[in-house]
Chains A and B, each alone.
Chain A
Amino acid sequence: MFEHILSVMIFLPILTGVILLMTPASQGIARITGLLVSLAILILGIDLYVHFAATGYLEFVEKLAWVPSLGISYHLGVDGINLFVLMAASLLLPMVYLVFTTREKGFYANLLIAQGAMIGAICAADMVLFYIFWEIMLLPIFFMMGLYGGPKRIPATIKITIYTIAGSLLMLAAIVYLGVSYHAQFNEWSFAISDMAKLNLSGQTAILFFFCFIIAFAIKIPLFPFHTWLPDAYTEAPTAATFVLSAIMAKIGVYGVIRFVVPVFDEQLARFAILLACSGVVGMMYCGIAAIAQKDLKRMLAFSSASHMGIIALGVFCMNMQALTGSIYQIVAHATSVGVLFLFVGLIESRTNSRSIEDLGGIAAKAPVFALFFAIALLASVGLPGTSGFIGEFLIILGAIKFNVWVGVFAGTTLIIGVCYMLYMFQRVFFEKTNPNTSTFKDLTLVEGLTFLPVILLIIIMGIYPHPFLSKITPTTALQFAGDTPVVAQTVATNALFPELTIEKK
């Protein structure tokens, strides 16, 4: 079984979800089944993590010929780049089943399908396989939003669906282009991602398809200015779907850039990196400033999430090891912190029937454990040292300074922008006086407490002792920059203000 651990992690939830949809199971059974399956995935995920040897190359590889005439294969694997995205997808889901206990059967079934599809997209080492999972993972979100979302769910659902499908089509075109180019250059068919790095791509066409990939991923992340679907979607989706979207799916967008764009389109990336990096920084500032104007707790977190994704994306575009490693680390750090925050908003909504910041207040006095956990997740999200959020954010800023001083300086303002809205929100929701909405606010139950405890501890452990985690990532990121092409070196040298900062290339 363990030679096929990845396949099990992909298809166990998908098949369970499909079976649940086809059988007249009650919602209780659906939830228990979902919980058990997600716990099984959690155990498999931990097992995989423990046995991950950090060689720098793909591990747990499964490869079967699928369409041999076109070189398409069923090809899975894990390396330092996708390991942590995989962990986010496989370890966090049990929380959802434990927190949202009274939803419909279809809700849980879709959640299962989403998890399997995401794990598939994360582990796929073949572009066609990746594309298929990438598309499947939108479906359950479509149904969850459209069926179980808030009052304005329909326009929000249509917007996110058309937006992402438009991106996906561009990506499909780019994938076909890569396959055809490979055939043209090497006279054989292949869609394996690792083969694409051998391609020598140049000229206008390459730039065109480079942007096809970038736009597809930029929509998913979302990168400014492709974020406009996000506030409505995150707000109107049921909180579980918002959790999946923000904690995991957005990260798959970043992962896509690292996996496809960085090694394959290195020349084009080097040329446009500054543009994309600025897009990340502007997005961070834009969404972070917009967050302070929000009255709806969930929408504020949506903007916060978009703001942080800008920084994470920036780390990828800086094209140095510190920033890239920081981005990958931040993927998990952000998934845990923002994931917990969204789930807590779900709890607040179910306890008070309100998400409006102005209706709440004084929760800290009524529910100290709740407030403590929320505060820890919040502090991780603003990047306080001692939490996981600091390590990634600092590495990204460090790398950004090397990439371009001004990008780095503006990226650093995330330190200030983040605390502005977060402290304001914490003040209005958790401090000040209680009111009729919150005067009987219940603290976390034992089950809820135990649900969140591991994640809260993980936030702290990853902040205090990140080395074991980082050492799983760095062998792969070191390989990414081992064979730097001269083009990358040139971009790094655009450091006009402080030429001393320019790093010699080996």
Chain B
Amino acid sequence: MELSVNYLGLIPLFPLMGAVIIGLLHVFTCNRTRLPEKVYGILACIGPILSFILALRVWVALKALPPESRFLTHDVFTWISVGEFNVSMGFLADPLACLFLLFVTFIGTLIHIYSIGYMSGDVNYGKFFAYMNLFLGSMLVLVLGDGPLVMFVGWEGVGLCSYLLISFYSEDRANVVAGNKAFIVNRIGDLGFVLGMAFLFWGIGSGGFDYLSLSVNADNLAPGIALAVCLLFFIGATGKSAQIPLYVWLPDAMAGPTPVSALIHAATMVTAGVYMVARFSFLYAGVELAGSVIAWVGILTALLAAIFAMYQDDIKKILAYSTVSQLGYMFAGVGVAAYSAGIFHVFTHAFFKALLFLGAGSIIYALHHEQNIWKMGGLKAKMPITYVTMVIGALALAGCPPFSGFFSKDEILYCAFATGHYGIWLVGIVVAAMTAFYTFRMIFIVFHGQARDQEKFDHAHEPPSVMTIPLIILAVGAIFAGFFNLPGVFGGNLMVSQWLEPSLTEVHPYTSTFVEIFVVVASIAAFAVGLKLAWSKYGQGATKPEFSGFSRFAYNKFYVDEAFDRVLVQPYRALGATIWKNIEPNVTDAPVKGASRLYMMLGNAFKVFQAGYVRVYAIYMVVGLSLMTLFLSQSLN
């Protein structure tokens, strides 16, 4: 059962239109009279707000329907139709998409409002908001697109926008290189996505390439192809959602303005991979091997990123690695077929991570673009609102009950345990302790103790209210978002999981209350251990330690970037140069050159006979005539 409505397409269209209008205004005015910032700020917020209102309307409309028929569709036009390959530019809103819609537009709007303050004074104010709108619009296409190909439009769209925004301060080469890296690494993942789509289509796509047709036909997919499709799609997800081995772009993506980081890390882009796996739960549910691969890649990514996060100096990099680590949890969740748990962590993470990034943005703003935590300290006196809200975000991230992150993380760990993935659970618990440690390491160094840079400290101040109000709203979300999906042991009824049920193919694992309580206690203990360690090491002020041995190795992120550079980037460039300098002239073009040389040689050889002396030609004539006579006399006989 599905209901056709005619407003779904408008949801991505509003921000996209905003992007076009703001972009054109900026392009045509930026080198002449500059428009006032207010114009851009207001224009930029209209699109996201309208989309949010429509998202609410979608939610109301879905709620009015009986759960099993909660599908709204909107086919705008036939997009591509070639033989049996038929795809329409269609949109689908089901409970899963609706959940994403709500938090993407809500948090997206808050980040836009915050940016009005954060970006003020920037020369490319208009350009920034054009990209932001484009980013949000692409994300909404990704979420709403009915079928993998329409999703891919948004998928690549957010990739492009991240490139544009990461290299936003484009005068500095390092920023542009970081942008290039993000785009290229994402493209590697996208190759997996494209090939997965091709396999899926030749498997079952001729019956329709939208989600509902695909899920109906999913059983007809041969097991080998199903595995290939699942793994190829997951390659796409590792690119977009920064998992091993393609996570390398995300920490570098910190080169962009801070609100962009918030948008990339919280509301858009990196959650896309998790969304995709959940979206294709009808495929993944049938391929256990793919699920195990995803779960293990996820939890190992969580571990690796948590190790890196413990040693970083840059406040944004700490948060970046924490995002990678939390994404690992989400993949662990969807990998063990606990799709709703993974999605719920996406949801709560969106609040507290947006909060933490925007809080970090406030600090960076207050300290005039200082990002090194060892230059901060004692800021809680100067920036109380930022301090309180960031502590709330930190508690949620670290998994302190009853903040939102606790419930969502616990649900994933519980599902891993209950489905018998004890190894994943154990690593998850260790990572939980590490998360608490690195999060509060950051909080203690930045806000507690003494000022480390007195001059910067003296100039620090709370940012304007256009920036603090979004922080407060997000803090409220970071506290309470977890209550939407309380499990039975806390007296809840898994509201979000129930809401998502029509969209997902999953079975919620039920075990005994004892197991539930055991998992909860283990999580709380992990949090407590991490917090205690952080307090004892950094609670009363500390100076930057000297790294040696393992910590030095971890501080340098296991030299993974250097390894990629040595193994992939340099050889690729060298190959290009070799082709151009050696292979092209000496191998590929050699036959052509050889042919012309041969031609010259033949010419030179025959030149000898054209000596130019009458006596030589006379000899030719005599010899020729004799031979002819001989031949004739022979043949006449």
Contact = CB atoms under 8 A, between A and B. Distances in A.
Interface of A: 159, 162-163, 224-225, 227-229, 231, 286, 289-294, 320-322, 325-326, 362, 364-366, 368-369, 372, 379, 384-386, 390-391, 394-395, 397-398, 401-402, 408-409, 412-413, 415-416, 419-420, 423-424, 427, 431-433, 443, 464-467, 470-471, 474, 477-478, 481, 498, 500-501, 503
B612 interface: no
Contact of A386 (B157, B167, B203): B157
A432 B588 contact: no
A398 B201 contact: yes
A227 B575 CA distance: 18
Contacts of A162: 596
Contact of A431 (B79, B85, B160, B176): B176
Given A228-B588, A384-B156, A423-B180, A368 B27 contact: yes
A498 B224 contact: yes
B514 interface: no
Given A415-B191, A416-B191, A420-B184, A432 B173 contact: yes
Choose among B77, B170, B576 the residue with the greatest number of A CB atoms under 10 Å from its CB: B576
B160 to A, nearest CB: 6
Interface in B177-210: 177, 179-180, 183-184, 187-188, 190-191, 194-195, 197-199, 201-203
Given A290-B584, A503-B202, A467 B83 contact: no
Contacts of A386: 153, 156-157
Contacts of B156: 384-386, 390
B342 to A, nearest CB: 26
B85 A322 contact: yes
Given A228-B584, A292-B573, A500-B222, A321 B191 contact: no
Contact of B180 (A231, A286, A424, A471): A424
A501 B199 contact: yes
Contact of B82 (A385, A432, A470): A470
A286 B31 CA distance: 41
Contacts of B10: none
B580 A290 contact: yes
A408 B78 contact: no
B82 A293 contact: no
A157 to B, nearest CB: 14
Contacts of A369: 27-28
A30 to B, nearest CB: 34
A401 B195 contact: yes
Given A290-B580, A292-B573, A228 B592 contact: yes
Contacts of A366: 31
A231 B588 CA distance: 13
B199 A401 contact: yes
A322 B83 contact: yes
Nearest to A385: B153
A391 B153 CA distance: 11
Choose among A229, A290, A364, A385 the residue with the greatest number of B CB atoms under 10 Å from its CB: A385
B201 A364 contact: no
Contacts of A397: 194-195, 198
B194 A498 contact: no
Choose among A225, A229, A391, A474 the residue with the greatest number of B CB atoms under 10 Å from its CB: A225
B248 interface: no
Contacts of B579: 286, 289-290, 293
A159 B595 CA distance: 12
Interface string B543-582: 0000000000000000000000000000011011101110
B380 to A, nearest CB: 39
Contacts of A409: 195
Contacts of B31: 366, 368, 443
B77 A467 contact: yes
Contact of B184 (A290, A326, A412, A419): A419
B81 A398 contact: no
B573 A474 contact: no
B83 A321 contact: yes
B83 A474 contact: yes
28 contacts: A162-B596, A163-B592, A225-B588, A289-B579, A290-B580, A293-B580, A325-B83, A366-B31, A368-B27, A368-B31, A369-B28, A372-B23, A384-B156, A398-B197, A398-B198, A401-B202, A402-B202, A408-B195, A413-B191, A423-B183, A467-B78, A467-B79, A470-B82, A474-B83, A477-B82, A500-B203, A500-B224, A501-B202
Contact of A391 (B80, B173, B592): B80
Given A290-B580, A433-B171, A412 B194 contact: yes
A321 B85 CA distance: 10
Interface string B383-423: 00000000000000000000000000000000000000000
A289 B79 CA distance: 33
The 10 A-B residue pairs with the shortest CB-CB distance in the complex, in nearest-first order: A293-B576, A431-B170, A401-B198, A292-B576, A228-B589, A385-B153, A321-B83, A500-B222, A293-B580, A290-B579
A365 B168 CA distance: 11
Nearest to A420: B184
A481 B153 CA distance: 29
B30 interface: yes
A466 B80 contact: yes
Given A293-B576, A364-B170, 15 more contacts: A225-B588, A289-B575, A290-B579, A368-B27, A368-B30, A369-B27, A369-B28, A394-B194, A412-B195, A423-B163, A431-B170, A431-B173, A432-B173, A474-B82, A501-B225
A154 B176 CA distance: 39
B276 interface: no
B79 A498 contact: no
Nearest to B177: A427
A227 to B, nearest CB: 8
Interface string B133-175: 0000000000000000100110111001001000100111100
Given A325-B82, A384-B156, A427-B176, A432 B171 contact: yes
Contacts of A286: 579
B228 interface: yes
B228 A498 contact: yes
Contacts of B157: 385-386
B296 to A, nearest CB: 24
Contact of A293 (B173, B177, B573): B573
Nearest to B167: A431
B576 A470 contact: no
A471 B575 CA distance: 42
Contact of B576 (A229, A291, A320): A291
Contacts of B197: 398
Contacts of B201: 398
A359 B188 CA distance: 30
Choose among B77, B581, B589 the residue with the greatest number of A CB atoms under 10 Å from its CB: B589
Given A384-B156, A391-B80, A432-B170, A416 B199 contact: no
B572 A408 contact: no
Contacts of A395: 80, 82, 85
Contacts of A464: 89
A466 B79 contact: yes
Given A395-B80, A433-B171, A501-B225, A412 B176 contact: no
Contacts of B228: 498
Nearest to B16: A386
Contacts of B83: 320-322, 325, 474, 478, 481
Nearest to A474: B82
B85 A474 contact: no
A371 to B, nearest CB: 9
Interface in B478-498: none
Contacts of A291: 576
Contacts of B172: 432
Contacts of B191: 412-413, 415-416
B198 A293 contact: no
Contact of B176 (A228, A394, A432): A432
Nearest to A409: B195
A365 B176 CA distance: 14
B225 A498 contact: yes
